[in-house]
Amino acid sequence: MPEAAYFHIPFCVNICHYCDFNKVFLKGQPVNEYLTYMEKEMINTVRQTPYSRIKTIFVGGGTPTALDYEQFEMFLKMVNRHFSSDKLDEFTVEANPEQTDRKKLEIMKAFGVNRLSIGVQAFQEQLLKELGRTHVKKDVIRTVLEAKAVGIENISLDIMFGLPHQTVDMLKETLEIAFSLNVPHFSAYSLQLEKKTVFYNRAVKGDLLLPEQEEEAQMYEVLMEQMEKHGYIQYEISNFARPGYESKHNLQYWDNNEYYGIGAGAHSYVNGKRVANAGPLKKYMSLIDETGFPYVHSETLAPSAKMEEELFMGLRKMDGVSDTRFKQRYGKSMYDVFGPQIEQLLAKGWLKKSGDRVSLTKDGTFLGNEVFQEFIGVV
């Protein structure tokens, strides 16, 4: 039974050059109508699969803070109506600094939001322009200060590395400014070239100057060293937190737990099924009219697929995968299923054992995708 819910707001004032998430330009879109259909999906979803307790909520996009005040309040009221919980541990909203002012932060606070995830990426204006971002450093600083002023102290900043024209020194400068803001959490991702993005098209044309692989690896090394130096624990390949401030919602994914997904392009994992919603707004809304649900794909996971996901999702966490938990879920040891693969990765020095757990070594964190691949198609 799901204890987490994700809500997707697909509207953006501008489109970033690296983003392949489901999104549309805000201007001219039927925003209010879309929100009404989101509520229909919420009602039908909870009726079909009731929950006993929701622990975490995450609102992503797109750009949730691109909604105007009325729309934002309307949306958060809906979430509270249908996914309310007296014992909600974490309620996160993604925010772009240039579209997040004090009034929106006050609305968030009033409706139970207690965590803010701010898209920063870098603090150099030339890099931000290259990324297609429209904020500047002062917007980030203002947003952090205003969030704290309204009582939202649990703040995460997103940082990117391996960017076009980015150097190790630029990353160090970004981190130095970020640490000065005294927030408890960071997510830090290397640039991935995804199809149908501006960066991908430029790369195909040979018009995208990216750091060499060795330099990108050096950036990741610097990132890990600086995080540790400043008191942030790396608890997942791309995530760092002060103790007690780990993202509870994202841990639901990495722990391979079930979750609701509401909105255009959202994905759910409920009752052993992975379900994908329609991405285009018209299709999303018309499917809800026709069937009550916007599903375009549904797959009931076989036990073998669940076990594979348990390994490659769980190994993203620095504390890895517990064999005791694996046995409780699947009735057999992970060594019975993946013994040769685990032994091979231990021999390579990419995995390590501690008690009943296996986890990535430091070398393994640099080669995560290669490690995870070893568990695909085994069973």
- Domain borders along the chain are 4-254, 303-373
Residues 6+ apart with CB under 8 A from 213: none
CB contact burial 320-347 (16+ within 10 A = b; e otherwise): bbbbebbeeebeeebeebbeebbeebee
- Find the DSSP H helices in 88-197: 102-110, 125-131, 137-150, 168-180
CB contact burial 174-195 (16+ within 10 A = b; e otherwise): bbebbbebebbbbbbeebeeee
Let me know how many helices (H) and strands (E) the chain has, helices first.
15, 17
The token pair that represents 102 in the structure block: 């004090």
- Write down the pLDDT at residue 194: 75
- Write down the pLDDT at residue 296: 96
> Which residue type sits at 106?
E
CATH 3.40.1390.30 fits 303-373, yes or no: no
Say if residues 191 and 176 touch (Cβ distance below 8 Å): no
Say if residues 26 and 14 touch (Cβ distance below 8 Å): no
Distance separating alpha carbons of residues 309 and 331, to the nearest angstrom: 16
Sign of the torsion angle spanned by Cα atoms 175, 180, 186, 192: negative
- Write down the pLDDT at residue 320: 96
The SS3 of residue 2 is coil
- Write down the pLDDT at residue 78: 96
- Write down the pLDDT at residue 234: 96
Distance separating alpha carbons of residues 292 and 308, to the nearest angstrom: 32
The H or E element spanning position 225 is helix 213-229
Block means of pLDDT (10 residues each) for the chain, length 379 residues? 94 71 76 97 96 95 93 96 85 94 96 95 89 87 97 96 91 96 95 75 76 87 96 96 97 95 96 94 96 96 92 94 95 94 94 94 89 82
CATH superfamily of 4-254: Aldolase class I (3.20.20.70)
CB contact burial 15-45 (16+ within 10 A = b; e otherwise): ebbbbeebbbebeeeebeebbebbbebbeeb
pTM, rounded to two decimals? 0.93
> Which residue type sits at 40?
K
DSSP 246-287: S-HHHHHHHTT--BEEESTT-EEEETTEEEEE--SHHHHHHH
- Write down the pLDDT at residue 21: 67
CB contact burial 280-294 (16+ within 10 A = b; e otherwise): ebeebbebbeeeebb
Distance separating alpha carbons of residues 59 and 83, to the nearest angstrom: 12
